[in-house]
């Protein structure tokens, strides 16, 4: 065949290639698009739609994804994202950078007061955060943005929000009834078995130094540098961050501290750390709190298990 670059061959060839590209890149994705909502999908309320615009305008998606993939099971994911989760999203905010955590299931992870403290200045709740402060948005816009963030995860978020709202009422009631009732209520969240468990590791200098570092990186913004609950985030949080000094002589144990730090306290701003801190770090920061702020520790008491194999002598 004689394939000469005649003008007609160039034009026809060009059109053919263009048609093939349009077919593959435009038509094919359009024809196979998924418009069936996933089982968790629901429409957004008007305030949530407004909040989404604030999210877009402030470039949140440059640091946050909204898509959990199957490789993320290892990060403690709850559910893998499905195409049907995005049927109402134009533009879709999947994002490609995870400078911060994925937010597709963020709704109800924290109560609203935690979010206010965090958006005003992320270092209120996470002392070494590199997320910029959004105080300039001002209270009304921050509250609208929070409505959107609390809807991420749709029906699953709604369930978590219901839990937050339910427990928030209980937490506020307990706090307002005074320290005795508050500590009783907080400890009633801890299963009986855990309450009796002492810290299994003896207090060591290294353990306390590790505990202090973890406290400074994760806790100081709320519980404050002397453990009195007067950290920088305190003005935004209600019930306010716990003043650890009230725990003395109120039946505290290593097990209670461990359980609360691991799981957080739903309804209060106290987050869970089970995905961020390994077991030893939780015992360490618990013991640091016990020794320096509460003034009593059970870290050296019976019953003790077999010495952990790598635990140094003495
Ligand atoms: C420069 C990157 C960056 C930008 C921009 C950014 N974030 Fe973040 N974000 C982070 C990092 C890092 C963290 C983790 C530390 C922390 O909690 O602050 C985080 C944490 C969060 C969390 C808490 C997640 C959790 O449950 O612990 C939320 C919610 C959040 N960001 C929302 C937003 C929203 C909404 C915007 C836009 C208004 C935004 N972020 C902009 C980096 C960023
Ligand atoms: C965003 C604020 C915030 C951060 C960050 C935070 N806490 Fe809390 N914490 C709270 C609040 C609020 C309560 C419950 C106050 C109440 O209901 O009276 C609480 C309660 C607790 C309790 C319960 C005590 C008991 O006797 O049951 C422990 C233990 C605790 N925090 C330890 C920590 C540790 C350790 C860290 C860091 C790893 C930390 N918290 C980080 C806000 C925070």
CA distance 17 to 23: 10
> Which ligand 1 atom lies nearest to the CA of residue 137?
38
pTM (two decimals): 0.93
CA distance 287 to 282: 8
Q: What is the pLDDT of residues 179-224, one digit of tens each?
A: 999 999 999 999 999 999 999 888 999 999 999 999 999 999 999 9
Rounded to an integer, the average pLDDT of 278-295 is 96
Q: What is the pLDDT of residues 260-273, one digit of tens each?
A: 999 999 999 999 99
Q: What is the pLDDT of residues 106-163, one digit of tens each?
A: 999 999 999 999 999 999 999 999 999 999 999 999 999 999 999 999 999 999 999 9
Please tell me the distance between residue 229's alpha carbon and the centre of ligand 2 in angstroms: 9
Q: What is the pLDDT of residues 214-251, one digit of tens each?
A: 999 999 999 999 999 999 999 999 999 999 999 999 99
* Ligand showing the shortest atom-to-Cα distance for residue 219: 2
Domains of the chain: 46-160 (1.10.760.10), 189-294 (1.10.760.10)
276 in Cβ contact with 261 (< 8 Å) = no
Please tell me the distance between residue 251's alpha carbon and the centre of ligand 1 in angstroms: 37
Q: What is the pLDDT of residues 53-99, one digit of tens each?
A: 999 999 999 999 999 999 999 888 889 999 999 999 999 999 999 99
pLDDT at 314 over 60: no
pLDDT band at 304 (very low <50, low <70, confident <90, very high): low
CA distance 310 to 44: 52
CA distances from 53 to 57, 58, 96, 113, 163 (A): 6, 9, 19, 21, 27
Q: What is the model's pLDDT at position 221?
A: 98
Q: What is the pLDDT of residues 30-51, one digit of tens each?
A: 998 888 999 999 999 999 999 9
Q: How many residues does the chain have?
A: 314
pLDDT band at 4 (very low <50, low <70, confident <90, very high): confident
Rounded to an integer, the average pLDDT of 4-9 is 90
HSE-up of residue 29 (Cα within 13 Å, Cβ side):
6
Q: What is the model's pLDDT at position 313?
A: 59
Please tell me the distance between residue 296's alpha carbon and the centre of ligand 1 in angstroms: 36
Q: What is the model's pLDDT at position 288?
A: 98
Cβ–ligand 1 distance for 216 under 6 Å, the answer: no
């Amino acid at each position: 065949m004689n394939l000469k670059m005649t003008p007609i061959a160039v034009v026809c060839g060009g059109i053919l290639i263009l048609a093939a590209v349009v077919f593959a890149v435009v038509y094919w994705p359009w024809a196979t698009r998924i418009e069936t909502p996933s089982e968790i999908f629901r429409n957004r309320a008007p305030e949530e739609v407004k909040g989404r615009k604030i999210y877009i305008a402030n470039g949140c998606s440059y640091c946050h994804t909204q898509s959990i993939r199957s490789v993320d099971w290892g990060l403690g994911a709850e559910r893998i994202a499905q195409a049907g989760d995005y049927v109402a999203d134009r533009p879709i905010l999947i994002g490609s950078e995870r400078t911060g955590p994925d937010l597709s299931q963020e709704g109800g992870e924290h109560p609203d007061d935690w979010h206010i403290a965090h958006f005003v200045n992320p270092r209120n709740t996470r002392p070494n955060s590199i997320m910029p402060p959004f105080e300039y948005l001002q209270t009304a816009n921050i509250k609208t943005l929070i409505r959107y963030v609390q809807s991420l995860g749709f029906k699953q978020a709604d369930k978590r929000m219901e839990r937050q709202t339910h427990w928030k009422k209980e937490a506020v009631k307990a706090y307002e009834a005074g320290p005795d009732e508050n500590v009783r209520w907080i400890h009633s969240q801890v299963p009986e078995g855990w309450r009796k468990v002492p810290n299994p590791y003896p207090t060591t200098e290294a353990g306390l130094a590790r505990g202090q570092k973890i406290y400074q990186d994760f806790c100081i913004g709320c519980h404050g540098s002397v453990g009195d609950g007067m950290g920088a985030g305190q003005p935004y949080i209600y019930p306010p961050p716990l003043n650890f000094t009230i725990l003395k002589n109120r039946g505290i144990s290593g097990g209670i501290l461990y359980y609360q730090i691991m799981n957080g306290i739903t309804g209060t701003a106290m987050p869970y750390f089970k995905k961020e801190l390994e077991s030893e770090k939780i015992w360490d920061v618990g013991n640091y709190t016990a020794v320096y702020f509460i003034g009593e520790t059970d870290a050296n008491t019976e019953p003790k298990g077999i010495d952990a194999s790598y635990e140094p002598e003495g």
